[in-house]
Chains A and B, each alone.
Chain A
Amino acid sequence: AQSVSQHNHHVILSEAASLELGCNYSYGGTVNLFWYVQYPGQHLQLLLKYFSGDPLVKGIKGFEAEFIKSKFSFNLRKPSVQWSDTAEYFCAVNARAGNMLTFGGGTRLMVKP
């Protein structure tokens, strides 16, 4: 069965700091990879996804993620965070042979103004 690990449960940054959130998955086959964000009091929204092609994926609000197949990783990055990026971030994997997403445990990001 596939599983997803997010190493950091809580991250606190100051505005303008750079962000990198780790995500590793365990599945040997071909995968689709996703990052979702949940702002306080709001529903989960798709930030970006990787399906195929360029392993560096750009999403909304200046976020990007890099798929490194050899490391089974899909880390999320942003060069300069803003207070409005305070949210919980979830990495998710969909094995191509399967029908559903498996989510990581989430990372709560707090950005101090």
Chain B
Amino acid sequence: DVKVTQSSRYLVKRTGEKVFLECVQDMDHENMFWYRQDPGLGLRLIYFSYDVKMKEKGDIPEGYSVSREKKERFSLILESASTNQTSMYLCASRIRDRSYGYTFGSGTRLTVV
């Protein structure tokens, strides 16, 4: 089974801190995605990457950046954390074929105080 691992299950950070959320997948998937999940809003795409060093903005990229230096790792960076970035962050991966679904990680619940 494909495994997508997110480094932290829970994080508490202070306003203004730089925050790194890490995601690693072990099945050589080309595509990787970062979503945030908020009650009533479902999942909203922040950024995605279709290959190493490639990235595309999703629907809500403001306040975030990403890094994909290796195929298996996709990092989400909050440049200066704010309280409205308190959320559940989900990483997902998929092979290049769009007919396949995503495989999700367990999520990182980030609280910014």
Chain A residues close to B by CB (< 8 Å): 4, 6, 9, 32, 34, 36, 42-46, 49, 51, 90, 92, 94, 96, 98-106
Among B44, B48, B92, B99, the residue within 8 A (CB) of A32 is: B99
Interface size band for B: 20 to 34
Q: Do the beta carbons of B40 and A99 come within 8 Å of each other?
A: no
Inter-chain CA distance A96–B99, complex, in Å, is 8
Contact B31 A106 (CB under 8 A): no
Q: Which of B17-25, B65-73, B74-82, B103-111 lines the interface with chain A?
A: B103-111
Interface residues in chain B, defined as those with a beta carbon under 8 Å from any beta carbon in chain A: 31, 33, 35, 40-45, 48, 50, 56, 58, 90, 92, 98-99, 101-102, 104-107
Choose among A9, A32, A43 the residue that contacts B107 (Cβ–Cβ < 8 A): A43
* Chain A, residue nearest B47 (CB): A100
